[in-house]
């Protein structure tokens, strides 16, 4: 079994990520950060926390970051298209995200930008937005992240998780 941590929109505030990791540990097979780290120091701090691969994309608040705006990566036998989402319109739409995933041969698409968690399988594509680990915008106002678990048979399970405040 493989586990992956997915989060987005920390906006230079890593304290909440560190609090989550104090609870769940850092033992992951990979980490995906979906943009809006805010600066190179925050990007590096995230990379320094983990010993596993860390995949990152640039968000609309990442200024001069040299990170890519999108990437196609492999996680536990799955092709995953990752992006912050802002380059796909002011608010990424689920149909657009599924189209982008299919165009890139991905069965999973992950994006951030909205600060609102979303998880649904649409037209055969799993669409995931982990929400924001620092500045949530959904009605309950809870900070969120996601865990992706891939079994040995490559079946996948996702969980939207809440930061305990």
Second-level CATH architecture of 2-162:
4-Layer Sandwich (3.60)
Whole-structure pTM value:
0.95
DSSP annotation of 52: S
What's the pLDDT tens digit per position in 17-41?
A: 999 999 999 999 999 999 999 888 8
C-alpha separations of 145 from 16, 96, 102 in Å: 10, 22, 24
Closest CA to 158 of 76, 97, 53: 76
Which neighbouring-strand residues pair with 5? Answer: 31, 147
* Sequence ranges of the domains in the chain: 2-162
What's the pLDDT tens digit per position in 35-82?
A: 999 888 889 999 999 999 999 999 999 888 899 999 999 999 999 999
């Amino acid at each position: 079994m493989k586990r992956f941590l997915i989060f987005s929109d920390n906006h230079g505030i890593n304290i909440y990520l560190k609090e989550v990791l104090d609870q769940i540990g850092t033992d992951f097979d990979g980490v995906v950060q979906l943009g809006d780290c805010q600066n190179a120091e925050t990007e590096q701090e995230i990379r320094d926390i983990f010993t596993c691969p860390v995949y990152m994309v640039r968000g609309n608040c990442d200024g001069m970051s040299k990170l890519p705006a999108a990437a196609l990566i492999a996680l536990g036998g799955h092709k995953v298209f990752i992006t912050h989402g802002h380059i796909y319109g002011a608010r990424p739409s689920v149909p657009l995200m599924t189209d982008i995933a299919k165009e890139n041969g991905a069965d999973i698409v992950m994006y951030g930008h909205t600060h609102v968690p979303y998880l649904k399988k649409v037209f055969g594509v799993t669409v995931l937005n982990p929400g924001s680990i620092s500045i949530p915008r959904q009605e309950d106002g809870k900070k969120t992240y996601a865990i992706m678990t891939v079994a040995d048979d490559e079946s996948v399970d996702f969980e939207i998780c809440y930061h305990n405040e």
